[in-house]
């Protein structure tokens, strides 16, 4: 278990310090993958490095299981080499002057272990990551995917139960990334690892996390389970960051309060959604472009959760079609299955799947 | 001072800072005190008080302005000759399709193995007005040889051609850093070879080239070897030689440390001005230049009909500046008394001078001293600058303190050797550490001189190693020192090996520091050469020169013999 409480960290020279992490708290349960998701500069890597001990926070407390590894109040700061954490760096950090076996054996050497024990554990770690037989290869002569696996083997060889992964897949090509993602999840389950994972790729985060925390400007905007975060985000920022989204200007009853359901009137029609406070200027209706179905037959103007518009652009993306519709000044994007392709200029009607809309209301209105 | 509780690292930092202050700052402070405290027959610190007499002497004496003028003419002239040759050869070898490129490349670099003293010796004999090879040969064709090598012009010629090979390395390096796509873009825009050179390559190169010029002007201002050897006979003094002769007067006079210190400070000020200019130019140059992928060779300029004339010019220059002095050196070393080279003279050749060197009873001591001195210099310089580089690049020390340490370690770049020499003399006359007159004081002074270069080189090497490689080691359970031993040290090995060779070569070649600090029991190779020159034992001098050149050539080719498995790191 990793428990981070109220950690703050500033970076820069004495003169001009900027907060890289501002009062961040979260808990990673045993045997789960917890992802810090955010754009570059959001503080996610700094947070990970604070847990690793490579960076020292200014305030707060970090505990690994029962061990407090950092506490500003109790003046505790365990150096990284005494935290017993495995870590995979974005650049893999494979030592070029060693063989694959030398890299993987590194954490075990110098602890009075028998040579045979070390060799056996290195072989086991290499087998776990699918690199059996490559032990004697020189490290610089490996492909990106192989280096990634060596880094992973080195992180698990000491059988630490906590693993920190800093954008481990971002340097791989798309196909390999998908494969390594599957293998990472399988490895985590097999070894029961507690993983803190950092990425800027929301798809990756959705695919492998048990929990995701969306970060912005050094703070956690929202944390939750992947699907809930994707479908029912409670902040406009994470709604936008997690994937393609429509934000339609709308009008809402002035007494709508956060958490309640309300009807939002847009240029396309009226839709029911859950009200959330936001920092925006005007109320907006949020829904994901794929959460709609096209309607055929007569248009019933009064029905809630249906809308109508004129198709202004269509792109065929293979499995789906990206359709832009307009109504007056507003436009919305829809994702439709290939079987139903409207033409540009055509009038269409659609229904929004129930429970898929959120209404972001400016805070001052909501209060 | 230190970020997180790492007491061992901060103790180490304090120790390294203390040692650097001791090596660099203490002698400088002593020098400043001496310039205002030592007068006439009084040594510094003999009596209290501050006197400006030395400065008055220096400023009132017309000779000072003569010295400044000589130093300036010498530096400017030598730099123009040296850089001119370097630019010509760098352009020819790096950028054109000249034939025999490898031969030219090696030939240009050969003089690096010849100590400047030896090179000067060779020229003094080649151009000797009465018996010199060149005047005598010209006279046979009825051509008078109108100039004397024993003059400021002669000094400039020798120094200029001697520094061409070092300048070549820097100019060629700058030329290689110019992004070839910038030139290709010009070619695509329809510009010819000549226009591309004048409108793209040279303007891009200008700041870097100017930095190289300033660098060598600094080298020439502070150098002692050539002006010391030629100037002695020619009766021409420059700042650096004047400071030496003030502290080593002939005819039993007392050394004038006060005036020498005041002049030394003047030299420091000039050097500091030049180094400031150099740093500024270097910074400007970096903005222009992009380092391209290694191993990429831009397309070469086709010389066409110019091929032959340029080749003849290049070979001619190399024959004059490299082959002729080398031949003279070897020829003279094989003759007891000089004979004009002819088939008949071959019969007189013998190894007697070499045998005399071996039989010389002091020679063993000189060799032992040289080895001890250069190895001690390597150990002190490398361990200190490796620590400084580590502490200033990656350690948990706060940024402002790291900057202070780095600045301090780089300061000696701006302190001329002759100044370090006199500062060490004055310091260790007083400091109760019994190393005065031993090889250890020479090693300590040389370490002060060389620490700037090795710190800069090792810092650059450190910066090329991604910090994650060290962080990964910490995460794997190794502490800072284990990380240094198991990850950093192996990765730094090529850079360290290069620095070891560089320091060894410089320590063996360096003359003036050893000359100011040696005693009869701590003679080293360079002071022995100086002694042979003063006593006029030319055959042994040249034999020693041949031996030194062979040793230095061996050392210079060491980096090329590095094991293959180190090749992944750019050196």
Domain range annotation of chain B: 1-48+351-571, 57-319
Residue A104: give the domain boundaries: 2-231
Tally of domains in chain A: 2
Chain A residues with CB-CB distance to B465 below 8 A: none
Say yes or no to pLDDT of B251 above 60: yes
Mean pLDDT for the stretch of residues B516-537: 90
Residue B238, pLDDT score = 93
Lowest-confidence pick of A292-296, A299-303, B428-432? A299-303
The stretch B376-404 carries a mean pLDDT of: 89
Task: Please tell me the predicted confidence (pLDDT) of residue A367.
Answer: 41
Q: Is pLDDT at B2 greater than 70 in this prediction? A: no
- Note the pLDDT of residue B300: 73
Residue with tokens 């007697």: B352
Which positions in chain B have a beta carbon within 8 angstroms of at least one beta carbon in chain A? 3-6, 399-400, 466, 468-469, 471-479, 482, 486-487, 490-491, 565, 568-569
In-domain check, residue A271: yes
Parallel, antiparallel, or unpaired for β A211-216 and A219-224?
antiparallel
What tens digit of pLDDT does each residue of A345-357 get?
Answer: 989 888 898 888 9
> What pLDDT does B40 receive?
60
pLDDT exceeds 50 at position B568:
no
Question: Sorting pLDDT into bands at 50, 70 and 90, what band is B410?
Answer: confident
The residue-averaged pLDDT of A67-92 equals 92
How far apart are the C-alpha atoms of B426 and B70, rounded to whole Å? 27
Nearest CA in chain A to B474: A81
Residue of B nearest to A94 (CA): B469
DSSP per-residue letters across B325-390: HHHHHHHHHT-SS-----GGGGGG--SHHHHHHHH-HHHHHHHHHHHHHHHHHHHHHHHHHHHHHH
Tally of residues, chain A: 367
Average pLDDT, chain A: 89
Mean pLDDT of A191-208: 94
Q: With 80 as the cut, is the pLDDT of residue A62 above it?
A: yes
* Pairwise pLDDT comparison (A65 vs B8), residue with the higher score: A65
Rounded to an integer, the average pLDDT of A180-192 is 92
Query: Do A312 and A223 sit in the same domain of this protein?
Result: no
Highest mean pLDDT among A337-351, B273-287, B506-520: B506-520
Residue B43 scores a pLDDT above 90: no
- The string of pLDDT tens digits covering residues A300-309 is 555 678 888 9
pLDDT of residue B47: 66
Q: Is residue A143 part of a domain?
A: yes
Q: Are strands A246-249 and A284-287 parallel, antiparallel or unpaired?
A: antiparallel
- pLDDT at position A365 is 45
B292, pLDDT greater than 60: no
Query: What long-range pairs does B191-200 form, CB within 8 A, spacing at least 24?
Result: B193/B301, B193/B302, B197/B301
User: The domain spanning residue A218 has which CATH number?
Assistant: 3.40.50.300
Q: Does residue B311 carry a pLDDT above 90?
A: yes
Distance CA B385, CA B383 (A): 6
Whether A30 maps to a domain, the answer reads: yes
Find which of B6, B477, B565 to mutate to test the A interface (most A CBs within 10 Å of its CB).
Answer: B477
**Could you tell me if A28 and A167 lie in one domain?**
yes
Q: Picking from A173-182, A357-366, B7-16, B540-549, which range would have the lowest pLDDT averaged per residue? A: A357-366
Q: Which residue, A201, A231, A261, sits at the end of a domain?
A: A231
Q: Count each helix (H run) and each strand (E run) in chain B, helices first.
A: 27, 0
Q: Is the pLDDT of residue B387 over 50?
A: yes
Distances (CA, A) of A312 to A9, A327, A331: 48, 10, 9
* Residue A303: partners with Cβ closer than 8 Å, 6 or more residues away: none
Residue B202's closest CA among B191, B192, B213, B210? Answer: B210
Asked if residue A236 is part of any domain, the answer here is no
Name the pLDDT band for B297 (thresholds 50, 70, 90): low
Residue B296 has pLDDT above 60, yes or no: no
- Contact state of B476 with A154 under an 8 Å Cβ cutoff: yes
Query: Do the bridges between strand A211-216 and strand A33-37 make them parallel or antiparallel, or are there none, so unpaired?
Result: parallel
pLDDT above 70: residue B41: no
Q: How far is CA B123 from CA B162, B233, B552, in A?
A: 11, 13, 20
Q: Which of B466, B474, B569 sits opposite A54 (nearest CB)?
A: B474
- CB atoms inside a 10 Å sphere around CB B158: 28
- For B187-234, the pLDDT digits (tens) are 777 777 677 777 877 787 888 888 889 889 999 999 999 999 898 888
* pLDDT value for A310: 92
Question: How much is the pLDDT for B289?
Answer: 52
Nearest CA in chain A to B480: A81
* pLDDT confidence of residue B361: 83
* Per-residue H/E/C for B210-269: HHHHHHHHHHHHHCCHHHHHHHHHHCCCCHHHHHHHHHCCCCCCCCCHHHHHHHHHHHHH
Under CATH, what is the fold of the domain B57-319?
MetI-like fold (1.10.3720)
Cα separation of B491 and A60, whole Å? 36
- Cα(A187)–Cα(A156) distance, rounded to whole angstroms? 10
The DSSP line for A10-61 is EES-SSS-EEEEEEEEEEE-TT-EEEEE--TTSSHHHHHHHHHTSS--SEEE
At B472 the pLDDT is 93
Whether the CB-CB separation of B160 and B111 falls below 8 Å is answered with no
> Is the confidence at residue A151, as pLDDT, over 90?
yes
Q: Is residue B186 scored above 60 in pLDDT?
A: yes
Is the CB of A106 less than 8 angstroms away from the CB of B478?
yes
A46 has a pLDDT exceeding 60: yes
Residue B317 pLDDT greater than 70, yes or no? yes
Lateral strand order in the sheet of A76-77? A18-28, A2-11, A59-64, A67-71, A76-77
Q: Tens digits of per-residue pLDDT, B118-158? A: 999 999 999 988 888 898 888 889 888 888 889 999 999 99
Domain end among A185, A203, A231: A231
Residue B384 has pLDDT above 50, yes or no: yes
Q: ipTM value of the model?
A: 0.84
At B3, the pLDDT band (50, 70, 90 cuts) reads very low
Q: What is the model's pLDDT at position A191?
A: 92
Give per-residue pLDDT as tens, A85-117: 999 999 889 998 889 999 999 999 888 889 999
Radius of gyration of chain A (CA): 25
Give B250's contacts (C-beta < 8 A, 6+ positions apart).
none
Q: Which CATH architecture has domain B1-48+351-571?
A: Orthogonal Bundle (1.10)
Q: How many CB pairs under 8 A join A and B?
A: 73
| Residues A115, A18 share a domain | yes
Same domain? A64 vs A127: yes
Find the residue in A nearest to B472 (Cα): A93
**Min CA distance, A241 vs chain B (Å)?**
29
Residue B477, pLDDT above cutoff 60: yes
Same structural domain for residues A213 and A66? Answer: yes
Structure tokens of B101?
């490129």
> What is the edge-to-edge ordering of all strands in the sheet holding A162-166?
A86-88, A162-166, A194-199, A33-37, A211-216, A219-224
Q: Tell me: do A51 and A92 sit in the same domain.
A: yes
In a domain, A239, yes or no: no
Instruction: Give the per-residue pLDDT at B571.
Output: 31
pLDDT at site B286: 62
Mean pLDDT, rounded, of chain B: 85
Q: What is the mean pLDDT of residues A215-227?
A: 94
Pick the closest to residue A355 from A241, A227, A213, A253 (CA basis). A227
Among the candidates A231, A255, A279, a domain finishes at A231
Does B466 contact A93 at a Cβ distance shorter than 8 Å? yes
Q: Does B284 score more than 90 pLDDT?
A: no
């Amino acid at each position: 278990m990793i428990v981070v409480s109220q950690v703050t960290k500033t970076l820069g020279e004495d003169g001009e310090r900027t907060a890289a992490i501002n009062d961040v708290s979260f808990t990673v349960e045993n045997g789960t993958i917890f992802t810090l998701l955010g754009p570059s500069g959001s503080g996610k890597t700094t947070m990970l490095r604070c847990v690793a001990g490579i960076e020292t926070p200014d305030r707060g407390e970090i505990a690994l299981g029962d061990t407090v590894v950092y506490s500003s109040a109790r003046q505790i700061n365990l150096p990284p080499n005494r935290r017993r954490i495995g870590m995979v760096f974005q650049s893999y950090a494979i030592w070029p002057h060693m063989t694959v076996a030398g890299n993987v054996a590194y954490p075990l050497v110098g602890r009075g272990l028998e040579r045979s024990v070390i060799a056996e554990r290195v072989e086991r770690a290499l087998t776990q990551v699918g690199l059996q037989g490559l032990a004697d290869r020189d490290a610089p002569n490996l492909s990106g995917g192989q280096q990634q696996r060596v880094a992973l083997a080195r992180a698990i060889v000491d059988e630490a139960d906590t693993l920190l992964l800093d954008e481990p897949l971002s340097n791989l090509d798309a196909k390999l990334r998908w494969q390594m993602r599957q293998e990472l999840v399988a490895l985590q389950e097999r070894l029961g690892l507690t993983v803190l994972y950092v990425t800027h790729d929301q798809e990756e985060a959705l695919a492998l996390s048990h929990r995701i925390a969306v970060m912005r400007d050094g703070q956690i905007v929202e944390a939750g389970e992947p699907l809930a975060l994707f479908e029912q985000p409670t902040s406009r920022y994470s709604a936008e960051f997690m994937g393609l989204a429509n934000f339609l200007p709308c009008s809402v009853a002035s007494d709508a309060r956060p958490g309640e359901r309300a009807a939002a009137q847009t240029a396309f029609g009226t839709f029911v959604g859950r009200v959330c406070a936001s920092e925006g200027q005007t109320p907006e209706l949020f829904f994901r472009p794929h959460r709609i179905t096209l309607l055929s037959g007569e248009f019933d103007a009064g029905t809630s959760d249906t809308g109508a518009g004129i198709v202004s652009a269509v792109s065929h993306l293979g499995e789906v079609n990206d359709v832009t519709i307009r109504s007056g000044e507003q436009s919305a994007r829809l994702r439709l299955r290939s079987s139903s392709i409207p033409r540009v200029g055509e009038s269409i009607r659609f229904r929004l799947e129930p429970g898929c809309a959120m209404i972001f209301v400016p805070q001052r209105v909501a209060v | 001072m230190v970020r997180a509780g790492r007491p061992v690292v901060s103790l180490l930092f304090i120790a390294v800072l203390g040692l650097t202050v001791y090596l660099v700052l203490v002698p400088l402070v002593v020098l400043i005190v001496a310039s205002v405290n030592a007068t006439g027959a009084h040594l510094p610190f003999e009596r209290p008080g501050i006197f400006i007499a030395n400065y008055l002497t220096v400023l009132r004496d017309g000779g000072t302005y003569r010295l400044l003028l000589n130093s300036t003419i010498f530096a400017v002239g030598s730099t123009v000759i040296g850089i001119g040759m370097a630019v010509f050869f760098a352009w020819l070898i790096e950028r054109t399709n000249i034939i025999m490129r490898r031969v030219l490349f090696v030939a240009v670099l050969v003089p690096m193995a010849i100590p400047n003293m030896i090179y000067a010796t060779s020229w003094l004999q080649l151009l000797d007005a009465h018996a010199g090879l060149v005047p005598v040969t010209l006279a046979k064709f009825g051509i008078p040889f109108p100039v004397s090598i024993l003059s400021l012009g002669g000094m400039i010629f020798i120094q200029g051609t001697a520094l061409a090979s070092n300048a070549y390395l820097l100019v060629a390096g700058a030329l290689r850093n110019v992004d070839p796509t910038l030139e290709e873009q010009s070619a695509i825009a329809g510009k010819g070879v000549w226009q591309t050179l004048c409108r793209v390559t040279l303007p891009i190169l200008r700041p870097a080239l100017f930095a190289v010029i300033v660098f060598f002007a600094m080298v020439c201002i502070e150098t002692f070897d050539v002006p010391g050897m030629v100037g002695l006979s020619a009766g021409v003094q420059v700042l650096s030689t004047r400071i030496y002769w003030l502290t080593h007067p002939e005819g039993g006079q007392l050394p004038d440390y006060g005036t020498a210190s005041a002049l030394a400070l003047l030299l420091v000020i000039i050097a500091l001005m030049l180094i400031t200019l150099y740093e500024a130019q270097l910074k400007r140059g970096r903005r222009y230049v992009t380092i391209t992928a290694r191993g990429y060779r831009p397309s070469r300029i086709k010389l066409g009909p110019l091929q032959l004339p340029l080749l003849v010019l290049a070979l001619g220059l190399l024959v004059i500046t490299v082959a002729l002095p080398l031949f003279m050196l070897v020829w003279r070393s094989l003759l007891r008394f000089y004979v004009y080279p002819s088939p008949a003279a071959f019969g007189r050749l013998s190894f007697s001078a070499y045998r005399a060197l071996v039989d010389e009873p002091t020679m063993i001591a000189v060799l032992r001293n040289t080895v001890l001195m250069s190895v001690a210099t390597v150990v002190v310089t490398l361990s200190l600058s490796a620590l400084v580089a580590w502490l200033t690049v990656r350690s948990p020390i706060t940024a402002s303190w790291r900057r202070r340490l780095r600045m301090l370690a780089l300061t000696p770049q701006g302190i001329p050797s002759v100044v370090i020499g006199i500062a060490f003399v004055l310091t260790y006359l007083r400091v109760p550490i019994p190393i005065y007159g031993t090889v250890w004081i020479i090693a300590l002074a040389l370490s002060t001189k060389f620490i700037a270069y090795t710190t800069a080189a090792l810092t650059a090497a450190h910066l090329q190693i991604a910090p994650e490689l060290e962080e990964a080691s910490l995460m794997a359970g190794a502490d800072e020192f284990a990380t240094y031993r198991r990850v950093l040290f192996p990765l730094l090995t090529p850079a360290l090996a290069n620095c070891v060779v560089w320091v060894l070569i410089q320590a063996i070649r360096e003359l003036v520091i050893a000359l100011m600090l040696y005693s009869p029991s701590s003679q080293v190779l360079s002071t022995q050469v100086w002694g042979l020159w003063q006593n006029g034992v030319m055959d042994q001098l040249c034999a020693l020169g041949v031996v030194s050149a062979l040793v230095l050539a061996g050392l210079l080719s060491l980096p090329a013999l590095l094991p293959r498995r180190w090749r992944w790191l750019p050196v």
